[in-house]
Structure 1
Amino acid sequence: MPATRPITGRPTSRRCEMNKPRYPTLMEATRIWARIGLLSFGGPAGQIAMMHRILVEEQKWLGEKRFLHALNYCMLLPGPEAQQLAVYIGWLMHRTLGGIIAGVLFVLPGVVAIMGLSWIYAIWGNVGIVEALFFGLKAAVLAIVVQAVIRIGSRALKNAAMLAIAAAAFIAIFAFGVPFPLIILAAGLIGFIGSRANIPAFRDGGGHGKVGSVQVADADTLLGEESPEHTRVNRGWALRISAVLLGMWLIPVALLFLLLGPANVFSQIAGFFSTMAVVTFGGAYAVLAYVAQEAVQHYGWLAPGEMLDGLGMAETTPGPLIMVTQFVGFMGALREAGGLSPLLAGTLGGLLTTWVTFTPCFLWIFLGAPFIERLRDNHQLTAALTAITAAVVGVILNLAVWFGLHLVFGEMRVFTGLGMQVNVPVPGSINPASALLTLAALVAMLQFRVGIFKVLIGSAAAGILLYLSGLGGI
C-alpha cells in the first residue's frame, strides 16, 4: 500500500484544487470588466452589489472577505468608491495593467453616453419635447436625492452627536455658504478629537456598514487569506507609480494655467475639478452639493435646472454618478468657448473634467492599497470617518433642499442677516405640475419601493405626456 501523505499544512487533494477559485486570465478579466461597465447602473450601492454578484458569486474569482477588505479601503477615499473598487480588484488580480483596464472600462460607457447626451442637450435642449423629458427627469432626480438622505442618515446618525454634526453641516452650507471642504475637515477633526478623548459617541467609530446586498460572510478567499506577492509594500514602486500618475494628473493642469492664464475657463475647470478629486469624501451626492455650490453660484457655468438635467443624464446612463461633472465641464466650456467652436470647446471641457476627476482615483489605489493594511484597526481614523459621514448627511440634505426650491418654485428672494444669506421661495411662483410629479416620484420610491431606473423612465414619460397634453408649465 502506498504511503499516505500526512494531513498537515495546506490541503492538497484534487477536490480541494477543483473547488478553489482561480484568478482569470487578463483577457477573461477584460471581457468581464467590459460587461460590468455596461451594466453599472443604479448608483454606487447598485454598482457594488452588481460587482459582488458577478465577481464573487458568479465567477468565483475572489471571496467575500477579500472583496469586503477592498471595499472598506475604497470607502475611505475621496472620489467614486465603486470605480476605485474596480481598480483595486483589477490590480489585485493583474497588477497595474489589470487595475488600469478595470478602472477605464468601468467609466468608458458613461463617458461616451454623457458626451452624446451633452451634444443632444446643447443642440436640441430648447426643443419642447426634449425639455419635457428633462422636466420629468428632474422630479425623479429630486426623489432620488431625498432617498439618499434617508438611506445614509439612517445608517450614519446613530446618536445625538452625529445628529448634531449633520445639523451643523446643513446650517453651515445652506445658511452661511461654508465651503464643503472646510465642513469635511471640521467634521473629521471633531471625530478624531472625540475618539482621542474617549467620548462614548465616538468611541467605537461605527464604520460604514454594508452596501447594497453585500453581506459579511466567512467564505474562503482566493489563494487562501494570503495576498499576491505584488500587493506587498514596495516603496520604490510606490514612488515611481505616484510620480507617473501625479505627472499625468497635474502637468496638464499646470500647463493650462501657464499658457492660458487662471481666468480661462479650461484652467478653471482643471483647477476646480482637481481640487474636487481630493476633498470629495462621502459619495456622489455630497460631491454634487459642492459642485452645485461652486459651478452654479460661483463660476456660473450652468443654471440650477441644468444641474438637475445633468444629474438625470448620469442617473440613466452606466458608470459612476459623478460622471455628471463631465456635463458640467461641457456646459462651462461651451459657453466660454473663446475662439473655438462651442461644441468643440464643450467636448474638450467635458473630457478635461473627466481626466482630472478620475486620474487621481488610480493614484489613491496604486499608492495606498499596500499601505492601508496597517490602518484597518485604527479607531481614531474610523471615528473621524464616521463624523465625516454624519456631516455628509447634512450636506446632501442641503442638496435636496436646494434642488427642490429651484425645481418647484420659479422665483426666489434672498434673506440676509446675522451673517446668513438664504434663498426663500416666493409662494406664488410654485409650479403645480413640477410639485405633483416630484411628490409622485417620492411616493413611488419611498412608499412602494419602486427602483430608481423605473422611476426615472416613468417620470420622463410623464413629463412628455404633460407636454403633449398641453398641461404643466414646462
Structure 2
Amino acid sequence: MGNKKYTLKELTLYFLKLGTWGFGGPVALIGYMHRDLVEQKQWLTEQEYKEGLALAQLAPGPLAAQLGIYIGFVHYGLGGATLTGLAFVLPSFVMVVLLGMVYQLYSGLAWVRDVFYGVAPAVIGIITISAYKLTVKSLGKLKMNEIKVNWLLWLFYLLAIVITIITQQEQILLFIGCGLLYMIIKAPPAGLRKNRVLPVVLLTNLSFWNYSKDTLAEIGLFFLKAGTFVFGSGLAIVPFLHAGVVIERNWLTENQFLDAVAVAMITPGPVVITVGFIGYLVNGFPGAVVAALATFVPCFLFTVILAPSFKKIAANASVKAFVDGITAAVIGALVGSVVIIASRSVVDLPTALIAVATGSALVYIKKLQEVQLIAVAAILGILIKSI
C-alpha cells in the first residue's frame, strides 16, 4: 500500500477541518480531497484516490463520506477508517443538532416561517439541478445515440419517476429488481452467490431529553434501510426519507422536511447529515444519534469489508451491471420525489420564481454555492411576506 507520508493524527485533523469548512455538497468535497491529498500534500497516489472513488460509487453509501472512510483505510486500516469517518461527520452532526434545537424553540415565530417560505422553493431549485447532474453523470445526456446504448437504464429511470410520483413511497424492491434484471441481461454471473452483510443498529440510551424507546428502535431500522440504498450521492436519500418520514410515518410535516433538506444545504460536510436533524425533530438528541449512526454504519461496513478485495470486485462485470441498474432507478426516484415535494412547496408565483432563479443561478454562475443561494432566499422570504 505504499509508504505512509503522514500520521493518522494528521489525517484525522484534515478530515475534521474538511467536515467543518467543506461546503458545496459531495462533488465539491471529493474535489477538495483530490486537490489537498493527491495534488498538494501528496499523501495519496492518483491510483489510490481513483480506487477509493470507484469503490464509493460502486457500493451504497454517501459518496464523500465513503471516499473519506476509504482514504483512512488505505494506510491505517480499520482504525484509520473509523477515525476519518467520525472526524468528517462529527462537525456537521453537531451543527445540525444545534440547528434542530434552535428550530424547535423558534419555529413558531412568524419571521422563521417567512424565512422558510423563501428557503423551501430554493431547495427545490437546488435539488432539481443536482438531480439533472446525477442523471447526466449516470445515464449520459439525452442524445439518441446514448439512449440507444442505455435504453434499458433510461426505462428503469422513467419507470422509477412514474412509480414514485404515483405511489409517493420508496420502492426498494423496484431498485433491486432493476439491478438484477440489468445484471442478467448485460452480464449474467457464472454462479449466483449470496453475500450477507450483518446489519448493525447501534441504539444509544442517553438519560437527557424525553424520547420514546419504541420510536428510537423504529428510527434505527428505518435509517439503516435508507443508508443501505443510497448510491452515488447524499441527495439520492431524499426520496427514501420523504416517503418514510412524511408520508408513511407522519414524523414530520412537508414543511419540516424541506427545512431539514435546507439545513443539510447550509451546513458543511456530507449532505446526508440531514438525517441527524430529522432524528432530532422526531425524537430528541437520542433520535439524532441513532439516525446518524444507522445511516452511516452500512456505508462504513461496505467500505471496510470491500476495500481489501476491491480490485477483484470492481472488475466483475455482473457487479457493475447490478449497480448500474439500481443507480438508474434510484436517480429516477429522486426526480419523482422532487416533483412531489415541489407540488407542495411551490405554492404561488413568488415561490415559483425563487425556485427557477435558484436553479438558473446554479447553472450560470459557476462559483456560486448553495449556502449563498439559501441565504438570499431566506431574505427574500422575509421581504415578500412583509410586503
TM range (shorter): 0.7 to 0.9
1:370-404 deviation line (CA, Å, top 9, x unaligned): 12221121112212222222212211111210111
For residue 378 of structure 2, what is the aligned residue in structure 1?
Answer: 460
* 1:444 aligned onto 2:382: no
Report the residue type matching 2:71 in the other structure. I
Equivalent of residue 220 in structure 2, options 251, 266, 270: 270
- Alignment match of 1:115 (pick from 74, 97, 104): 97
TM-score of the aligned structures, taking structure 1 as reference length: 0.72
1:319 match = 269
- 2:248 is aligned to 298
| Counterpart-to-counterpart distance in 2, 1:348 and 1:174 | 32
Task: Quote the residue 2:193 is aligned against.
Answer: none
Deviation string 1:246-299 (CA, Å, 9 cap, x unpaired) is: 6xx33649x9xxxxxx99211211111122222233422221101101110111
Residue 116 of structure 1 and its aligned partner are, at CA, apart by: 0.6
Q: Counterparts of 1:106-185 in structure 2 under 5 Å?
A: 106-157=88-139, 158-159=146-147, 160-177=151-168, 179-185=170-176
Point out 4+ residue stretches in structure 1 off by more than 3 angstroms: 176-179, 249-253, 447-451
How far has the Cα of 1:197 moved from its partner? 6.7
Q: TM-score, normalised by structure 2?
A: 0.88
**2:201 aligns to what?**
250
Give the CA deviation at 1:188: 0.4
Correspondence for 1:434: 351
Do the aligned residues in 1 keep the contact of 2:169 with 2:244 (CA within 8 Å)?
A: no
Which position in structure 1 is the counterpart of 2:339?
401
Judged with a 3 Å threshold, the aligned counterparts in structure 2 of structure 1 residues 25 and 302 are, in CA distance, closer, same or farther, namely same
1:54-73 matched pairs, under 5 angstroms: 54-73=36-55
Aligned partner of residue 58 in structure 2, secondary structure: coil
The equivalent of 2:192 in structure 1 is none
Q: 1:405: Cα distance to partner? A: 0.4
Q: Measure how far apart 1:369 and its partner are.
A: 0.8
The question of whether the paired residues in 2 share the 8 Å contact of 1:149 and 1:396 is answered with yes
Q: Which stretch shows the higher mean deviation, 98-107 or 134-143?
A: 134-143
| 1:82 match | 64
- Contact 2:260–2:274, Cα closer than 8 Å, also in 1: yes
User: Which deviates the most, 107-116 or 69-78?
Assistant: 69-78
Distance 1:250 1:453, change over 3 A: closer
Paired amino acid for 1:276: A
| Alpha-carbon distance between aligned partners in 1 of 2:353 and 2:202, rounded to the nearest angstrom | 49
* Residue 350 of structure 1 pairs with residue 341 of structure 2: no
Does the 8 A contact of 1:136 with 1:462 survive in 2?
yes
2:181 aligned with 1:190: yes
Matches within 5 A, 1:219-230: none
Question: Is the contact between residue 280 and residue 286 of structure 2 (CA under 8 Å) also seen in structure 1?
Answer: yes
Q: What is the CA–CA distance in structure 2 between the aligned matches of 1:156 and 1:251, rounded to whole Å?
A: 33
More helix as a share of residues: 2
**Residues 282/187 of structure 1: CA separation in 2 closer, same or farther (3 Å cut):** farther
Structure 1 residue 312, shift from structure 2 partner: 0.5
**3-state DSSP of counterpart to 2:329:** helix
SS in 2 for 1:396: helix
What is the deviation of 1:95? 2.3
Name the % identity. 27
Correspondence 1:284 to 2:234: yes
CA RMSD of aligned residues (A): 2.5
What is the CA deviation profile of residues 404-434 of structure 1, one whole-angstrom value per residue up to 9, with x for unaligned ones? 101023xxxxxxxxxxxxxxxxxxxxx2221
Out of 103-112 and 128-137, give the one that drifted further: 128-137
Deviation, structure 1 residue 438? 1.5
Contact 1:21/1:61, CA 8 A, preserved across alignment = no
- Counterparts of 2:295 and 2:169, CA distance in 1: 23
- Distance 1:156-1:165 versus aligned 2 partners, 3 A rule: same
Structure 1 distance, partners of 2:94, 2:294, is: 17
Contact 2:121–2:346, Cα closer than 8 Å, also in 1:
no
5+ unaligned residues in a row in structure 1: which ranges? 1-19, 199-241, 256-261, 334-345, 410-430
Matched-pair contact (CA < 8 Å) for 1:21–1:62: no
Please tell me whether the aligned partners of residues 187 and 321 of structure 2 are also in contact (alpha carbons under 8 angstroms): no
Matched position secondary structure for 1:300: coil
C-alpha separation between the residues in 2 aligned to 1:125 and 1:324? Answer: 17
If asked which structure has higher relative contact order (CA below 8 Å, sep 6+), I would say 2
Task: Give ranges in structure 2 of 5+ residues lacking alignment.
Answer: 140-145, 190-196, 206-211
Q: Quick check: which has more Rg, 1 or 2? A: 1
Q: 8 Å contact 2:203–2:216 — kept in the other structure?
A: no
Deviation at 1:178, TM superposition (A): 5.7
8 A Cα contact 2:135 2:331, kept in partner: yes
How far has the Cα of 1:134 moved from its partner? 2.1
1:177 Cα offset (Å): 4.4
The 8 Å contact of residues 114 and 327 in structure 1, kept in 2 or not, is answered as yes
Residue in 1 that maps onto 2:298: 360
Match of 2:323 among 385, 392, 398: 385
Task: Work out the CA distance in 2 between the residues paired with 1:325 and 1:313.
Answer: 10
Summarize the Cα distance change of 1:277–1:432 in structure 2 as closer, same or farther, 3 Å threshold. Answer: same
CA distance in 2, matches of 1:178, 1:125: 27
The farther-off stretch of 268-277 and 112-121 is 268-277
> In the superposition, relative to structure 1, how do residues 433 and 47 fare at CA in structure 2: closer, same or farther (>3 Å)?
same
1:305 is matched by which residue type in structure 2? N
Q: In structure 2, what is the Cα distance between the partners aligned to 1:184 and 1:321?
A: 22
Shift of 1:137: 1.9
Aligned residues: 365
Counterpart Cα distance in 2 of 1:74 and 1:331:
29
Query: What per-residue deviation string (whole Å, max 9, x for no partner) do you get for residues 99-135 of structure 1?
Result: 1111001001111100010011100012122222222
